[in-house]
Amino acid sequence: MRNLIIDLDAIAYNLGVMRQRAGGVKVCGVVKANAYGHGMVEVARKLEEAGVDYLGVADVAEALELRRAGIDAPILAWLHDPHEMFVEALNEGIELGLANEDHLARVAAAAEITGRLARVHLKVDTGLNRNGASAAEWEGVLRQARALVAEGFIQVVGIFSHLSSTGEAEDLAQIARFDAAVEFARESGLQFELRHLTASDGSLNYPQAQYEMVRIGVALYGLSPFADHDSKEYGLRPAMTATANVTQVKRVPAGEGVSYGYLHRTAAETTLALVPVGYAEGLPRDASGKASVSINGKTYPISSRIAMDQFVIDVGNDDVNMGDLVTIFGDPAAGVPSADELAAAADTINYEIVTRMGGRFKRTYLGDLD
């Protein structure tokens, strides 16, 4: 009745596009937050098959879920509970992004308990001011990392940071700070193989900042990281299509109010089609009166209020019937509304649209492994 159709082949294809754009450096495929709503395990399996170098997640819990599903690829997790105990992460060979001395100490303790060498990526803040060691903390983090390397508890695999995506001047300033922080680490005697800074946007904008790895999320899902450029410009294919089947149609006279608050009133005798998707599925209520959907190749505005479970489309005298397929968004190349358009209607970004899709939607996969 409600389907999220996930085209895994499109995701593998997008990996190839982004790998080529990044000049062949390693790609960390970011699958945090249930792979931006696409299904973390299925996407990770496909990316692993397609030869992704790393999988990126926020939390250790996500990384462990991937391992439990049999994913063997290197996994990097970078956002930790203040009291995180890293024992299970090390037992499962999860690499850790670390930004402070306390977490370094906890990882060293876990390395001692498990007898495993912890592979860590040190995160330096270059201006985003989220996690990452501040300029003032960096020297202390490096000193402690060198000591723990010497004691045999950790191996520093990489140094990384994250851009604010504010504008070119801000990004270039961050790139310069990143280079300086890396240089400082090298001069302090620390050895590491990977520098990684850019996500989808920086990877598309700054060829000089691909270093040894890029961390790609939204572009893998075929979406553009920029509001003013669509993904087709980069040769990316949107991977998620949200559909539902009309559950009821009825003829009503002119002057009828439709759905909560009568945001829509019928102008003439017309047919109303009921679609069983609401804000419980992640369809933003804010898109009421602004977004459109596609039925039988024709686009109709969602002119009435989106409710928890359903919304109603006024299809005029068109031949729309119970069971007809409604596409809420998908690949605009197929003539249906895009996630970008739904995002604009709800005053948000495409990232949020796909990531919030859930509720009673059922995910079905195209191009799944056997």
Ligand X SMILES: *Cc1c(COP(=O)(O)O)cnc(C)c1O
Catalytic one of 13, 26, 32, 206? 32
Nearer to ligand X, 225 or 238 (CB): 225
As a whole number of angstroms, the distance between CA 271 and CA 256 comes to: 11
Nearer to ligand X, 2 or 237 (CB): 237
Question: What element of type H or E holds 96?
Answer: strand 95-98
340 phi, psi to nearest 5 deg: -60, -40
As a whole number of angstroms, the distance between CA 178 and CA 175 comes to: 5
**Pick from 96, 92, 91: which is nearest to 114 by CA?**
91
| 32 given a catalytic annotation | yes
Nearer to ligand X, 19 or 162 (CB): 162
Which of 6, 30, 209, 240 touches ligand X (CB under 6 A)? 30
As a whole number of angstroms, the distance between CA 183 and CA 209 comes to: 15
End-to-end CA distance of the chain: 25
Our finding on whether 218 is near ligand X (CB under 6 A) is yes
Q: Are the CB atoms for 328 and 283 separated by under 8 Å?
A: yes
**Pick from 300, 301, 312, 299: which is nearest to 260 by CA?**
312
As a whole number of angstroms, the distance between CA 103 and CA 80 comes to: 8
- Within residues 135-154, the interface with ligand X by CB under 6 A covers none
Catalytic one of 250, 260, 262, 298? 260
Q: Are the CB atoms for 361 and 1 separated by under 8 Å?
A: no
Our finding on whether 356 is near ligand X (CB under 6 A) is no
324 phi, psi to nearest 5 deg: -60, 145
Least distance in angstroms from the C-beta of 159 to ligand X? 13
Which of 29, 37, 127, 217 touches ligand X (CB under 6 A)? 217
Our finding on whether 215 is near ligand X (CB under 6 A) is yes
Our finding on whether 216 is near ligand X (CB under 6 A) is yes
Q: How many residues bind ligand X (CB under 6 A)?
A: 13
Least distance in angstroms from the C-beta of 323 to ligand X? 36
Our finding on whether 199 is near ligand X (CB under 6 A) is yes
Least distance in angstroms from the C-beta of 368 to ligand X? 23
Three-class DSSP category at 224: coil
Which of 162, 195, 237, 264 touches ligand X (CB under 6 A)? 162
Our finding on whether 200 is near ligand X (CB under 6 A) is yes
Binding site for ligand X (CB under 6 A): 30, 32, 78, 162, 199-201, 215-219, 225
- The catalytic residue positions are 32, 260
